């Protein structure tokens, strides 16, 4: 098992996996079993029942902890199941401060599920992280940050959020799905819990739905593992295998996502029909300095508007792209195009969306790892 002093590229390939002791298989097998035979009651090899433990999941959990610079990894059946587990740390009356530009499903589970259990959520602009302190009171238990934000691609200062969180003994959760461990490691900046939808960059091939939590604190790990086992939203072993395979190429994929992202962002920016281009790698991006501080590169997520700023012009572009497939999700090897207002963020009421700067004409790209010139030609013919 490689230690955390090795470079990320090495850890991505070797962390968590050891040759299978019974066969020497270099890749961790898919342990498709629900239970494990005991030699006498309570005498077993560390595996009792597959909701609680599974060797394929155990390999993945340990790999994920390693690549996020954490101690413990916990896997779930989806990113939302991981979110659900974190929210179950809370009790009625507790308050959470949440970044206001975030994954639509997170907004939905907080406002439509956990609000019914008496938990109070404050959705606020965290581009100035100092703003978080204005919402802390004696009931506050958690700060929830998603950075880069979705779909406006702002950057939130994790270190500054962690200072406020620690000063008030709160839990800081960072949804690191958009950045992936290749671009940023929130635990290093003081986060308590890192969350991933492994459906996205970690899996990387648009063939699995999976969620992850990574923590450093043993007591917190125990509480989350209790929730994982009690509530049972665990992934199957084949899904764990797919994520385990996916992360082995995270570094080479991300390198290309970043290269292509830069080329396409720069190309879009000089296009006469394009309005605003939102990409944190631009030096004049309002949070570029924070991005430079906490991220190693700027990724392949780009949002833009059209100068003809209306929904129909945007829908025309979405209809015409051929290499960019119109689909929800992101982070796979293939390029996707989406319309947040009607797709990923449709569960946020229109007036809330507009107030947050998410205009009806905003288009979001998940730039894949195809040839950049082909991707640009596709956008050129679609934008016209
Ligand atoms: C997709 C996504 C989620 C939810 O993950 P699922 O795997 O779809 O359940 C959470 N956060 C972010 C930022 C996402 O993109």
The residue written with tokens 């907080």 in the block is 110
pLDDT of residue 235: 98
Pair 149, 285: CB distance under 8 Å: no
Left if phi > 0, otherwise alpha if psi is -120 to 50, otherwise beta: which for 153?
A: left
Just give the CATH number of 8-247.
Answer: 3.40.640.10
pLDDT of residue 247: 98
- Domain 250-383: CATH architecture, name and number where available: Alpha-Beta Complex (3.90)
pLDDT of residue 309: 86
Task: Determine the Cα–Cα distance for residues 121 and 95; give it in Å rounded to an integer.
Answer: 6
pLDDT of residue 2: 59
The Å distance, Cα 198 to ligand 1 centre, comes to: 8
Q: Residues 72, 103, 182, 201: which is the catalytic one?
A: 103
Task: Determine the Cα–Cα distance for residues 47 and 202; give it in Å rounded to an integer.
Answer: 26
pLDDT tens, position by position, for the chain (384 residues)?
557 789 999 999 999 999 999 999 999 999 999 999 999 999 999 999 999 999 999 999 999 999 999 999 999 999 999 999 999 999 999 999 999 999 989 999 999 999 999 999 999 999 999 999 999 999 999 999 999 999 999 999 999 999 999 999 999 999 999 999 999 999 999 999 999 999 999 999 999 999 999 999 999 999 999 999 999 999 999 999 999 999 999 999 999 999 999 999 999 999 999 999 999 999 999 999 999 999 999 999 999 999 998 889 999 999 999 999 999 999 999 999 999 988 888 877 888 888 877 888 899 999 999 999 999 999 999 999
pLDDT of residue 355: 81
Beta-carbon contacts of residue 307 (< 8 Å; ≥ 6 apart): 272, 273, 274, 275
The Å distance, Cα 339 to ligand 1 centre, comes to: 16
Task: Determine the Cα–Cα distance for residues 127 and 147; give it in Å rounded to an integer.
Answer: 10
CB pairs under 8 A, 24+ apart, for 290-293? 290/155, 290/156, 290/157, 291/148, 291/155, 293/157, 293/159
Cα radius of gyration (the chain): 21
Task: Determine the Cα–Cα distance for residues 115 and 92; give it in Å rounded to an integer.
Answer: 9
* Sign for the pseudo-dihedral over CA of 139, 142, 144, 145: positive
Q: Where are the domains of the chain?
A: 8-247, 250-383
Q: Residues 94, 101, 182, 200: which is the catalytic one?
A: 200
- Among 316, 350, 313, 331, smallest CA distance to 179 is for 331
Which residue's CA lies nearest to atom 4 of ligand 1? 79
Pair 358, 305: CB distance under 8 Å: no
The residue written with tokens 């449709």 in the block is 346
The answer to whether 103 is a known catalytic residue is yes
C-alpha distances out from residue 267 to 264, 273, 339, 377, 379, Å: 5, 12, 20, 10, 10
Same fold, 8-247 and 250-383: no
């Amino acid at each position: 098992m490689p230690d955390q002093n090795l470079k990320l590229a090495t850890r991505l390939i070797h962390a968590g996996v050891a040759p299978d002791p019974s066969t020497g298989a270099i890749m961790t097998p898919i342990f498709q079993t629900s239970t494990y035979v005991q030699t006498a009651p309570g005498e077993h090899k560390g595996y009792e029942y597959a909701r609680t433990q599974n060797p394929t999941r155990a390999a993945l959990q340990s790999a994920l902890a390693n690549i996020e610079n954490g101690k413990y990894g916990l896997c779930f059946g989806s990113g939302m199941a991981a979110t659900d587990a974190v929210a179950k740390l809370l009790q009625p009356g507790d308050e959470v401060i949440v970044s206001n530009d975030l994954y639509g499903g997170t907004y939905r589970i907080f406002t439509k599920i956990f609000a019914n259990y008496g938990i109070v959520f404050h959705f606020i602009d965290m581009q100035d992280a100092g703003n978080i302190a204005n919402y802390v009171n004696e009931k506050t238990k958690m700060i929830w940050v998603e950075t880069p934000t979705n779909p406006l691609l702002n950057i939130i200062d994790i270190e500054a959020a962690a200072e406020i969180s620690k000063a008030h003994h709160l839990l800081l959760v960072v949804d690191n799905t958009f950045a992936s461990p290749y671009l940023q490691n929130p635990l290093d900046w003081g986060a308590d819990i890192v969350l991933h939808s492994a459906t996205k960059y970690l899996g990387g091939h648009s063939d699995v739905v999976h969620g992850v939590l990574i923590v450093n604190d043993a007591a917190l790990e125990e509480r989350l593992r209790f929730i994982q086992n009690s509530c049972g939203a665990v992934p199957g072993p084949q899904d764990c295998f797919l994520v385990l395979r996916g992360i082995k190429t995270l570094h080479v994929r991300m390198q290309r996502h970043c290269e292509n992202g830069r080329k396409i962002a720069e190309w879009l920016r000089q296009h006469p029909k394009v309005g605003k281009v939102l990409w944190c790698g631009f030096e004049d991006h309002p949070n570029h300095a924070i991005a430079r501080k906490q991220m190693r590169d700027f990724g392949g997520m780009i949002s833009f508007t059209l100068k003809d700023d209306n929904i129909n012009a945007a829908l025309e572009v979405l209809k015409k792209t051929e290499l960019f497939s119109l689909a929800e999700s992101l982070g796979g090897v293939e390029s996707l195009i989406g319309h947040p207002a009607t797709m990923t963020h449709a569960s946020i009421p229109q007036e809330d969306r507009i107030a947050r700067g998410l205009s009806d004409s905003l288009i979001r790209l998940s730039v894949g790892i195809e040839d950049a010139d082909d991707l640009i030609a596709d956008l050129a013919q679609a934008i016209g």
